[in-house]
C-alpha cells in the first residue's frame, strides 16, 4: 500500500471521527436550540435584509471596511465554491439522493445560526496587533467570553487557517480544465497532464496574488460583481435542465424525501450515513455554525450588530437552498448519479451538464467553476491570513501569502480524497468554538435584536418585551 493511500485513509478517518454524532448534535441540535430561542425572529424579518442589501441604511461614517452587500458577497464567495458543484455530487455519490434533503435541513436551521454568529462578529469586534478592527469567532471569544476561554479562540484560528487552504478548489478547477482543454488537445500522457496542471495552476496563483494584494476592500469590490453573475448563470443553466425533464421533477423530489428517511439508495443503505453525509456537505457548503463567514461579516461597515446578522442569514438560502439544489436537480434528473461509476466530484456534474448542453455545456460549467473557484480562493486567503494574524500578530500575516499561493499549485496535483478529508475535518474543528461561543452569548443578541426591531418599528413593543424579559432571566 502506497504512502498516498495511507494518507488518504488517515485523512478520511480523521474527517469521519470529527463528523460523528457529538458534532452533529452540537451543529444541528445547537442550531435548533437557537431557532427556538429566537422565537423564529430571523425568518420573520427576511424582507428587512433586502432593504439592507439595497443600501438603505448604509452610513460611510460607520466603523468597518466594506458595505453590507460587499460583506455578504465576500461571505458568499467563500461558500459559493466547489462545495456547490463538486460537493453536492460527492454527497449524492456517497449518501444517495436523500443526502440532499439533509443539506436542506442544515440550511434552514443555518439561517438562524448565521443570524447569531454574524451579529456576534460585529458586536464583539476586536483590534488586531496593528490596531485594525477585526471580526470573527476568535475575537468574539476573546472580547465576549474573556481570557479564560482563549484556548477556544486559538482552536478556531488554527483550524480556520488550515481549513481554508485552497487545495480543494484548485484540485477540482484544474481537474476540469484538464478534462476540457488538455485531453481534447492530445495531452494524453501523465507527464503532459502534470505539466498542464502546473502551468494552469501557476496562472491562477498569479491572478489570485494580484487580487489579494488589495486586501478585503478589493476582494469586496470584486465579489459584489462576481457573485450575482455566478448565481444568475447557474440558475439559467438549471432552468434549461428543468424544462427538458419537467415531467420527472415530482419523482425526483419524492426520491429525495423518501431516501432521506429510508436510505435505500444510499451507499451501504444506512440511514445514519445519509444524514451524516448530508449534514456534513451542507455545513461545508453554507458554513452556518462553522464561523469562517463571520470574519467577512465582521468587516461590515455598521454600528448595528443585528443589522449584519439580518444580512448574513440570507447566505444559506442563496447558497444551499438555491444553488446546491440546482446542482442536485441536474445530477438526479439526468440520471448520471446512477450511471457514472467511479466518477466523483465535479466530473459527475460535468456529465450531467453535457447531457443537456452537448456542445456548449461543458464550457458553461467551466466558466462557472472558474468564477466559483477564483472567488472562493481569494476569500479563503482573507480568512486564513486573519487567523494567522490573530495567532502570531497581524504584522506577520504577510508571510502567509506566499505559502498560500504555493498551495494553489500543489492543490492541483494532490489526491482529492486526501484534500477532502483534511478540509472537512478542519471545518468540524472550527464548528466547536463557534457554536459554543454562539450558544453562550445568544441572550445578548436577543436583547439587541428586540431593541433594534422595536426602534425601526418592525416589531411592536408589547409583542417582544415580555418574551425577551423572560428569556433574559
- Give which of 114, 131, 70, 53 is closest to 300, Cα–Cα: 70
Q: Per-residue pLDDT for 294 more than 50?
A: yes
Q: How far apart are CA 166 and CA 160, in angstroms?
A: 12
CB atoms closer than 10 angstroms to residue 427? 28
Question: And the C-alpha cell for 325?
Answer: 439544489
Q: How far apart are CA 348 and CA 63, in angstroms?
A: 45
Question: And the C-alpha cell for 202?
Answer: 501557476
Q: Per-residue pLDDT for 98 more than 50?
A: yes
- Give which of 165, 162, 172 is closest to 428, Cα–Cα: 162
DSSP 85: I
DSSP-assigned letters across all residues of 101-122: HHHHHHHHHHHHHHHHHHHHHH
Q: How far apart are CA 114 and CA 387, in angstroms?
A: 19
Q: Which residues contact residue 438 at a Cβ distance below 8 angstroms, ignoring those fewer than 6 apart? A: 30, 34, 113, 116, 117, 120, 140, 289
Q: What is the pLDDT of residues 125-134, one digit of tens each?
A: 888 888 888 8
DSSP-assigned letters across all residues of 239-255: HHHHHHTGGGHHHHHHH
Q: What is the pLDDT of residues 2-21, one digit of tens each?
A: 777 788 788 888 888 888 87
Structural domains of the chain in order of their starting residue, each with its CATH number: 3-468 (1.20.1740)
Q: What average pLDDT does this structure show over 330-334?
A: 88
Lowest pLDDT segment from 280-284, 299-303, 396-400: 280-284
3-state SS, 421-452, equals HHHHHHHHHHHHHHHHHHHHHHHHHHHHHHHH
Q: How far apart are CA 54 and CA 59, in angstroms?
A: 13
Residue 220 parent element (H or E): helix 215-244
Identify the band that residue 246 occupies on the pLDDT scale cut at 50, 70 and 90: confident
Amino acid at each position: 500500500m502506497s504512502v498516498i493511500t495511507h494518507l488518504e485513509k488517515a485523512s478520511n478517518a480523521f474527517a469521519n471521527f470529527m463528523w460523528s454524532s457529538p458534532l452533529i448534535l452540537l451543529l444541528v441540535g445547537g442550531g435548533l436550540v437557537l431557532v427556538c430561542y429566537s422565537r423564529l425572529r430571523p425568518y420573520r424579518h427576511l424582507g428587512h435584509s433586502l432593504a439592507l442589501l439595497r443600501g438603505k441604511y448604509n452610513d460611510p461614517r460607520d466603523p468597518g471596511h466594506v458595505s453590507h452587500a460587499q460583506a455578504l458577497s465576500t461571505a458568499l464567495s467563500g461558500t459559493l465554491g466547489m462545495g456547490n458543484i463538486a460537493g453536492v455530487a460527492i454527497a449524492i455519490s456517497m449518501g444517495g439522493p436523500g443526502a440532499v434533503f439533509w443539506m436542506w435541513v442544515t440550511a434552514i436551521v443555518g439561517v438562524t445560526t448565521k443570524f447569531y454568529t454574524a451579529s456576534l462578529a460585529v458586536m464583539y469586534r476586536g483590534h488586531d496587533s496593528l490596531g485594525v478592527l477585526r471580526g470573527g469567532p476568535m475575537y468574539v471569544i476573546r472580547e465576549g467570553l474573556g481570557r479564560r476561554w482563549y484556548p477556544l479562540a486559538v482552536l478556531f484560528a488554527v483550524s480556520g487557517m488550515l481549513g481554508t487552504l485552497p487545495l480543494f478548489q484548485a484540485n477540482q478547477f484544474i481537474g476540469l480544465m484538464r478534462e476540457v482543454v488538455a485531453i481534447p488537445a492530445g495531452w494524453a500522457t501523465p507527464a503532459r497532464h502534470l505539466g498542464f496542471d502546473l502551468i494552469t495552476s501557476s496562472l491562477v496563483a498569479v491572478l489570485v496574488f494580484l487580487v489579494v494584494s488589495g486586501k478585503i476592500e478589493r476582494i469586496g469590490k470584486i465579489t459584489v460583481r462576481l457573485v450575482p453573475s455566478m448565481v444568475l448563470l447557474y440558475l439559467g443553466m438549471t432552468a434549461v435542465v428543468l424544462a427538458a425533464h419537467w415531467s420527472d421533477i415530482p419523482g425526483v423530489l419524492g426520491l429525495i424525501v423518501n431516501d432521506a428517511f429510508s436510505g435505500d439508495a444510499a451507499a451501504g443503505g444506512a440511514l445514519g450515513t445519509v444524514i451524516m453525509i448530508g449534514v456534513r456537505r451542507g455545513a461545508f457548503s453554507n458554513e452556518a455554525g462553522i464561523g469562517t463567514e463571520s470574519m467577512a461579516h465582521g468587516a461590515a461597515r455598521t454600528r448595528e450588530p443585528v443589522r449584519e446578522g439580518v444580512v448574513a442569514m440570507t447566505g444559506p438560502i442563496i447558497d444551499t437552498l438555491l444553488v446546491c439544489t440546482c446542482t442536485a436537480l441536474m445530477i438526479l434528473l439526468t440520471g448520471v448519479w446512477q450511471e457514472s461509476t467511479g466518477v466523483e466530484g465535479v466530473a459527475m456534474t460535468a456529465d450531467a451538464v453535457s447531457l443537456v448542453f452537448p456542445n456548449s455545456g461543458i464550457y458553461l460549467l467551466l466558466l462557472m467553476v472558474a468564477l466559483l473557484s477564483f472567488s472562493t480562493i481569494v476569500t479563503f486567503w482573507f480568512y486564513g491570513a486573519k487567523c494567522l494574524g490573530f495567532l502570531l500578530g497581524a504584522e506577520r500575516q504577510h508571510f502567509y501569502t506566499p505559502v498560500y499561493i504555493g498551495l494553489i499549485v500543489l492543490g492541483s496535483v494532490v489526491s482529492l480524497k486526501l484534500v477532502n478529508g483534511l478540509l472537512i475535518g478542519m471545518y468540524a474543528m472550527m464548528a466547536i468554538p463557534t457554536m459554543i461561543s454562539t450558544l453562550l452569548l445568544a441572550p445578548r443578541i436577543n436583547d439587541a435584536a428586540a431593541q433594534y426591531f422595536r426602534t425601526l418599528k418592525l416589531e411592536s413593543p408589547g409583542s417582544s418585551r415580555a418574551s425577551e424579559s423572560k428569556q433574559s432571566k
